[in-house]
Amino acid sequence: MGVYSIAHSLLALGPKDLFLFLITGSLFFCLLNYTVGVVLFHRVNSEKAGLKTPPLVPSVLPIWGNFSFRAIFDPRAWALSASNVFGNATPVRARFLANDVYIFQGVKNVEAFFRQRDLSSFNLHGFLLNRAFGLPTAAMKTYAKDDSGAYPKPYPESQVEPRNRIEYQLEKSLHRFLLGPGLMPLTRRFQSAIAQHFYTLPISDDWVSWDNFVTFFEQELTAPFLNSLCGDYLLRAHPDFLANRWTFENNIWSMIFGLPRFLAPRAYRARDGALRALKDWHVWALQNFDPALVDADGDDPVWGSKFFRERKTIFDTIDGFDLDAIATHDLAFIWGTTNNSIITSFWTAVETFSDPHLLAQVRQEAEACLIIDPEAGPDQPPQFDMDKLQQQPVLQAIYAETLRLRISGYFVRHHSHGDIAIDGWRIPNNHIILTSPMHTHMDPNTWGSERPVDQFWPGRFLKPAPAPGGGSGWEFTTERAPGAWIPYGGGYHMCPGRHFAKMMIIFSTALLTTMYDCEIRADPRNLAMSMRNFGFGMSGPTSKVPARLRRRAH
């Protein structure tokens, strides 16, 4: 039958019959596409010789590929339910429109993924800096030209000048600050600042209510951290900086999607306000810096950490990096160091204060680490043996279980220096490769059957052990699921702030439980995880979480 005859036959159908024909035909086409995909999936997966190509996951919808509208409106539920995409024992390909995304899941494959040194998230960082944080065009062009890699020795084919090696310069600076000599000075400043700040909060032995406990952490925990990071001028001169920072956080996807200003005015106003504050701080710091005030660690009260002072020197040599570009990077760094650690601290506090038995254990561990100073005055906050505190088993278990339960997102990598092999699997040049901790974190076969995996239970990370003074106690362990707990990623690009984040979360929990009583007054439904910022790590709550605090009598 010719095309003309087919068209003539269709026109002869009534509206109802034509509608049924189109629906039936569409379903048949989707079924045929899926059937062919299943056959190819199993054929490709059975290759034996040479490098294997990850099989293409069968797709029911040929236009959207393996992604659906559920991936937009409930991305976490979609990722956990899409077992053919994220639950495979072997790497797979999933198709979105015309693009193939390579997905590595399972402990063995994820470890191989993280070991691959040629993978990087640099291209993604440049995209996010431009779309979400407003990186100027001139600086973006320099980003686009940097193909030198993140290591001291650039890729052989790269022609980028050493001063324009942005990826390498930023990686080295971050590692030196958060993993190297800059970590301990920052940690000491933060511990002193947060202890003093929490101790002097205007909270007495009468209950003080908070409309939303999240804002307590966004304000009262973020403030001492920023003062430790970049001195106190920023918040002193711009008290709206914190509100702008968190408003920007809660609207970040509208920026990434490229919504115009008239459709996302709050997001743009918040970002513009935060960037103005950072530029003003830079101008003030340049005018007021005094080398005589630099301490033995290289820090000073004007710039705060020498990290920012050194980065300014680096940025001044890079093409296209004016004050606007520098402020963009500062906002991105502040966002990156606070977006997960602050919300994780909130969740650890909520879980601890909501369980009287768990609260008693945490207080016992925290008080065992107190340093008693008989000469300390009444205005001195409690002091802790920090090394001992961070080794307490229950506190570590709460921290680890919070990350296991509520991390939402992906570790995304890219490569552009030819095809690569990952544990025998061939990945073509210039493709996105990703993995996610969500599936392994929520796998009941991995975490046992004592409690459902969607319930908070620190016992997953505890095993019985002899107590120091005799009797029985607990020991923190990840042996239950070796290699399956990966909240910070792995390999060279593993989150450099992981050590500081652990300290912040455990220390803030110890301080709050030692100094205050707290009642969480939220409906359990309000403690569900929001998908507003899905993709960037820790998920916050869907709604406000009312609570009240009072100072403990002793």
| pLDDT at residue 97 in the model | 73
Query: Considering the domain boundaries, does residue 170 fall inside one?
Result: yes
| pLDDT at residue 274 in the model | 98
Please report, for the domain that includes residue 396, its CATH number.
Answer: 1.10.630.10
Q: Which residue numbers belong to the known binding site?
A: 495
CB 303 within 8 A of CB 189: no
Query: Considering the domain boundaries, does residue 101 fall inside one?
Result: no
Rounded-to-integer distance, Cα 182 and Cα 276, Å: 27
394 and 248 within one domain: yes
Which of 38, 69, 91 terminates a domain? The answer is 91
Query: Considering the domain boundaries, does residue 350 fall inside one?
Result: yes
Query: Considering the domain boundaries, does residue 100 fall inside one?
Result: no
3-state secondary structure of 197: helix
319 and 208 within one domain: yes
- The residue range of the domain holding 292 is 121-551
Q: What's the chain's length in residues? A: 554
Which of 46, 72, 91 terminates a domain? The answer is 91
- DSSP assignment of 113-181 equals HHH-TT-B-HHHHHHHHHHTT---HHHHHHHHH--S-SSSSPPTT----GGG-HHHHHHHHHHHHHTST
Rounded-to-integer distance, Cα 353 and Cα 522, Å: 12
Rounded-to-integer distance, Cα 529 and Cα 291, Å: 47
* Counted domains in the chain: 2
Mean pLDDT per 10-residue run, the chain (554 residues)? Answer: 42 47 39 38 48 81 51 79 81 85 92 91 91 95 94 94 96 95 95 95 94 96 96 97 95 90 94 98 97 95 95 96 97 94 97 97 96 76 94 98 94 91 93 92 88 95 84 88 92 92 97 97 89 87 95 82
Query: Considering the domain boundaries, does residue 519 fall inside one?
Result: yes
141 and 39 within one domain: no
**Cα separations in angstroms, 550 against 105, 201, 510:** 46, 10, 15
Query: Considering the domain boundaries, does residue 98 fall inside one?
Result: no
Query: Considering the domain boundaries, does residue 102 fall inside one?
Result: no
Closest CA to 512 of 547, 554, 544, 552: 552
* Global pTM exceeds 0.85: yes
Rounded-to-integer distance, Cα 348 and Cα 221, Å: 13
Rounded-to-integer distance, Cα 320 and Cα 136, Å: 8
Q: Which residue numbers belong to the known binding site for heme?
A: 495
| pLDDT at residue 32 in the model | 33
